[in-house]
Amino acid sequence: MEVVQLLLGGIASGCIYGLIALGFVLIYKATESVNFAQGDMMMLGAFITLQLTNTDYWNLPFWAAVPLAIAIMAVIGYGLEALVIRKLFGQPQFAVVILTIAIGFVLRFIAGFIWGHQPQSLETPFTGINLRFSGLVIGLDEVFVIGVTLVLTLGLYLFFAKTKLGIAMQAASQNQLAAYYMGVPVKLINGIIWAMAGGIAAVAGVMFAARGAIDPSMGLLGIKAFAAAVIGGFGSLPGALIGGLIIGIIEPFAARYGAPGYSQIAPYALMLLVLVLRPNGLFSQVQSKKV
């Protein structure tokens, strides 16, 4: 029973890592840059929802607050791309890495300034409600997290594989100039991608907040989500989810059965192992350059 309980908790937190990783992969797939601020965007999404729905703040109904928060984060994501990231169009990956790290710092500062640095809890309709099946306790929040993640991943996967816009987005990433000549509106597409990443960050933030307290530095969770993205292969959406699940499941088991002090290293050690064995990630897309 204990194993099943650990597994369920692991899957639920793994879904959250997976969702953050999904944000990384989304932006990587379309623009070939990595958004190091994804974790902080998740934090911001959580706080915006908290502002909208908590009784101490604006007290909107939860089911109205969440879509609103997603929309706000999408606008913020689009705005970031249009106002800042787009200025680096064509610059090397490294510049975008540094830029997004800086954006993360700014978001953390803004959140700390508005909402303070004390941990706060989001009020959700399913907080504290548990389902019991013959001795097994399943939190309603866990069911919610797992369900939403599955639906979202499937939706995004179909979007990239089947829709014209999704395919155009992939084309834009392979060769911006060529895509531009072929009539793909590269800039608009990058904006949409960032908006989507913002929306997903909001969803991840709500789910994280549903399971625990939030504070402005929770964005550092993003580092763990990197592990998920790397393990799953940086360019693969279902891979991101699987990577997230692996990390999420390893954590409680390492903490329960591993030696104290070593367990929190497990996700990072696993990621480093993957990188050492497959230096360009699983499902590597790096090919040797033709000269």
Partner 1 sequence: MRIHFKTKYDDDINLFEDGRKLFWYVLLVVLAILLPFIFDEYLLGEAVNVLIWAIAGMGLMILAGHTGQASLGHGAFLACGAYMEVWLQNKGVPFVLSLPLAGLFAGIVGAIIAIPALKMSGIYLAIATLAMGVIAEDVIILLEPYTGGIDGVYVEAFTLFGVEIDRYVSPDKFYWTCLGVVIIVTFGYANLLRSSTGRAFMAIRDSEISARAMGINVARFKTISFGLSCFVTGIAGGLLAHYMGAFNYEAFLILISIQLLLMIVVGGMGSIHGAFFGAAVVGFLPQLVTIVRETVTTVAIPGLDMGIFALILITIIVVEPTGLYGRWMKTRIWFELFPLARKDMFRRNKSYLKTERMK
159-166: long-range contacts (C-beta < 8 A, 24 or more apart)? 160/29, 160/237, 165/189, 165/192
Establish if 285 lies at the interface with partner 1 (CB under 8 A).
yes
Stretch touching partner 1 by CB under 8 A, among 45-53, 56-64, 98-106, 245-253: 98-106
User: Shortest gap between Cβ of 224 and partner 1 (angstroms)?
Assistant: 9
Strand partners, 133: 136
User: Shortest gap between Cβ of 280 and partner 1 (angstroms)?
Assistant: 6
d(CA 23, CA 41): 10
* CB-nearer residue toward partner 1: 54 or 264: 264
* CB-nearer residue toward partner 1: 65 or 242: 242
Establish if 272 lies at the interface with partner 1 (CB under 8 A).
yes
Site for partner 1 in 27-56 (CB under 8 A): 32, 34
User: Is there a contact between 38 and 168 (Cβ–Cβ < 8 Å)?
Assistant: no
Establish if 181 lies at the interface with partner 1 (CB under 8 A).
no
The HSE-up count of residue 212 (CA atoms within 13 Å, CB side) is 10
Say which residues have a Cβ less than 8 Å from residue 120's Cβ, sequence separation at least 6: 50, 54, 213, 214, 215
CA-angle at 208, arms to 204 and 210, nearest 5°: 115
d(CA 291, CA 16): 42
Site for partner 1 in 195-224 (CB under 8 A): 216, 220, 223
User: Shortest gap between Cβ of 120 and partner 1 (angstroms)?
Assistant: 16
d(CA 266, CA 151): 28
Among 145, 230, 231, 249, binds partner 1 (CB under 8 A): 230
Among 22, 43, 145, 227, binds partner 1 (CB under 8 A): 227
User: Is there a contact between 225 and 104 (Cβ–Cβ < 8 Å)?
Assistant: no
Among 4, 64, 102, 129, binds partner 1 (CB under 8 A): 102
Among 151, 161, 213, 265, binds partner 1 (CB under 8 A): 265
Establish if 182 lies at the interface with partner 1 (CB under 8 A).
no
Of 198, 281, 227, the residue nearest 18 (C-alpha): 227
Burial of residue 266 (number of CB atoms within 10 Å: 0-12, 13-18, 19+) = middle
Among 109, 147, 165, 283, binds partner 1 (CB under 8 A): 109
Looking up tokens 């650990």, which residue turns up? Answer: 6
Among 59, 130, 163, 175, binds partner 1 (CB under 8 A): 175
User: Shortest gap between Cβ of 28 and partner 1 (angstroms)?
Assistant: 8
* CB-nearer residue toward partner 1: 91 or 130: 91
Say which residues have a Cβ less than 8 Å from residue 260's Cβ, sequence separation at least 6: none
Site for partner 1 in 63-92 (CB under 8 A): 84, 87-92
With CB under 8 A as the rule, give the number of residues binding partner 1.
59
Interface residues toward partner 1, by CB under 8 A: 32, 34, 84, 87-95, 97-99, 101-106, 108-110, 112-113, 117, 173-177, 216, 220, 223, 226-227, 230, 234, 261-262, 264-265, 268-269, 271-272, 275-276, 279-281, 285-291
